[in-house]
């Protein structure tokens, strides 16, 4: 473990370098693979974004500089999908963090069948996203025989009302319909992370606070919440990474219609259906720039978690 600069200069350089490479070597396959499969395509996207290129008219491919970016910024529907993405991500992450916290608090106490209830609660997260989205679309939202309207009809039927309101959920509130299904899927994820946070809370501190006469709310506000802060940040960060990129729910429930097209869906459509390769690439680059801004902040959060762990080791 001696790594002073002197021996390196004193002729032991080659062997030190060899040792350094021996340490690094196991890392290389993973690094090289990842760079080849994730970074190179992005460089290609950057390149393509500078061209006016519609695959239906391949002969008219031409260098067009930044004009695709201009279109992205000025196009109303693309701008709307940026707004939709922000709205969708923020709503889903915030609501599922709050619900996840409530569920974690509820389940962080001993009761009969706790393991089973926990299993019930994480099930939505484990359903294949397409399955879940199809289930919401047809089994719950369907205006004629969906469980939401059906359950409501059953409930009002108990009171003799045979003509209850039967809204068409997806048409009437499309974005909310997508958000609800995503909140349902992501709440368990938040719950799991926050539950881990609750269970790592030092018990002796809680005891001490209780002996000092702190009430439940005070203990929650001044001990639990500060302790959970890092877990809340982590859940928000990871949730945001995944929800920003959501494609399955938008694709399945509304097919991007009725103002629910988020950026991943819009880009998919631009390139897969409209064949506008240059434009789709420019939109992709814009998404990446936006993500980098968020990620810089996000990485700092993880970094703080990480350095704490490193200092513990």
Partner 1 sequence: MSTTTAPVKAAPATTAYAPATRRARRRSAGLGLLAWVVGLGFCLPALWMLLTSFHSETDAATNPPSFTAPLTLDSYKVFFGSDGGASPWPPLINSLTASLFSTLFVLLLALPAAYALSIKPVRKWTDVMFFFLSTKMLPVVAGLLPIYLFAKNIGMLDNIWLLVILYTSMNLPIAVWMMQSFLADVPVSIIEAAQMDGARLPTVLARVVAPVAAPGIAATALICFIFSWNELLFARVLTGVTAQTAPVFLTGFVTSQGLFLAQLCAAAVVVSLPVLAAGFAAQDKLVQGLSLGAVK
Map the footprint of partner 1 across residues 225-264, applying CB under 8 A: 231, 234-235, 238, 241, 244-245, 247-248, 251-252, 263-264
Write out the two tokens for 26.
């196991």
Binding to partner 1 (CB under 8 A): which residues in 97-116? 103, 106-107, 109, 111-114, 116
CA distance 209 to 223: 9
CA distance 149 to 168: 9
Which member of 69, 80, 124, 176 binds partner 1 (CB under 8 A)?
Answer: 124
Minimum CB separation from partner 1 for residue 94, in Å? 18
Minimum CB separation from partner 1 for residue 204, in Å? 19
The conformation of residue 8, written as its DSSP 8-state character, comes to I
Asked whether the beta carbons of 191 and 98 are under 8 A apart, the reply is no
Q: What is the DSSP string of 137-203?
A: IIIIS-TTT-HHHHHHHHHHHHTT-SS-----HHHHSHHHHHHHHHHHHHHHHHHHHHHHHHHTS-H
Residue 45 or 67: the one with the smaller Cβ distance to partner 1 is: 45
For position 68 contacting partner 1 by CB under 8 A, the verdict is no
Residue 94 or 120: the one with the smaller Cβ distance to partner 1 is: 120
- Give the binding range for partner 1 (CB under 8 A) out of 26-34, 71-79, 88-96, 202-210: 26-34
C-alpha pair distances (Å), 6 with each of 17, 19, 30: 14, 16, 33
Number of residues that bind partner 1 (CB under 8 A): 106
- Give ∠ CA 92-93-94 in degrees, rounded to 5: 95
Which member of 87, 127, 206, 274 binds partner 1 (CB under 8 A)?
Answer: 127
Asked whether the beta carbons of 274 and 233 are under 8 A apart, the reply is no
For position 50 contacting partner 1 by CB under 8 A, the verdict is no
CA distance 268 to 302: 30
Residue 65 or 151: the one with the smaller Cβ distance to partner 1 is: 151
For position 72 contacting partner 1 by CB under 8 A, the verdict is no
Residue 99 or 173: the one with the smaller Cβ distance to partner 1 is: 99
Asked whether the beta carbons of 124 and 187 are under 8 A apart, the reply is yes
For position 313 contacting partner 1 by CB under 8 A, the verdict is yes
For position 69 contacting partner 1 by CB under 8 A, the verdict is no
Residue 8 or 118: the one with the smaller Cβ distance to partner 1 is: 118
CA distance 128 to 53: 35
Binding to partner 1 (CB under 8 A): which residues in 148-177? 149-151, 153-154, 157
Which member of 88, 182, 192, 261 binds partner 1 (CB under 8 A)?
Answer: 192
């Amino acid at each position: 473990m001696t790594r002073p600069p002197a021996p390196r200069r004193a002729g032991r350089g080659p062997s030190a370098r060899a040792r350094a490479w021996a340490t690094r070597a196991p890392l290389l396959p993973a690094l090289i693979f990842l760079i080849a499969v994730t970074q190179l395509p992005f460089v290609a996207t950057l390149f393509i974004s500078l061209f006016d290129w519609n695959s239906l008219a391949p002969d008219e491919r031409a260098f067009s500089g930044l004009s695709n970016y201009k279109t992205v910024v000025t196009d109303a529907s693309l701008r709307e999908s940026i707004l939709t993405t922000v709205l969708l991500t923020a709503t889903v992450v915030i609501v599922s963090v709050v619900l996840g916290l409530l569920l974690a608090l509820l389940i962080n106490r001993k009761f009969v069948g706790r393991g089973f209830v926990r299993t019930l609660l994480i099930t939505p997260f484990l359903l294949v996203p397409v399955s879940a989205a199809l289930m919401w679309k047809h089994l719950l939202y369907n205006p004629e025989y969906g469980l939401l309207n059906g359950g409501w009809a059953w409930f009002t039927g108990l009171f003799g009302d045979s003509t209850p309101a039967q809204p068409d959920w997806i048409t009437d509130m499309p974005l909310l319909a997508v958000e609800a299904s995503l909140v349902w899927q992501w709440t368990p994820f938040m719950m799991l992370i926050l539950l881990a946070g609750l269970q790592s809370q030092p018990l002796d501190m809680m005891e001490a606070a209780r002996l000092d006469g702190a009430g439940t709310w005070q203990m929650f506000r001044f001990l639990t919440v500060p302790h959970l802060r890092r877990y809340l940040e982590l859940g928000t960060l990871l949730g945001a990474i995944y929800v920003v990129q959501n494609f399955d729910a938008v694709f399945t429930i509304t097919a991007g219609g009725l103002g629910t097209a988020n950026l991943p869906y819009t880009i998919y459509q631009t390139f897969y259906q409209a064949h506008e390769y240059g434009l789709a690439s420019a939109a992709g680059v814009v998404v990446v720039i936006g993500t980098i801004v968020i990620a810089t902040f996000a990485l700092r959060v993880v970094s703080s978690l990480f350095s704490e762990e490193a200092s513990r080791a």
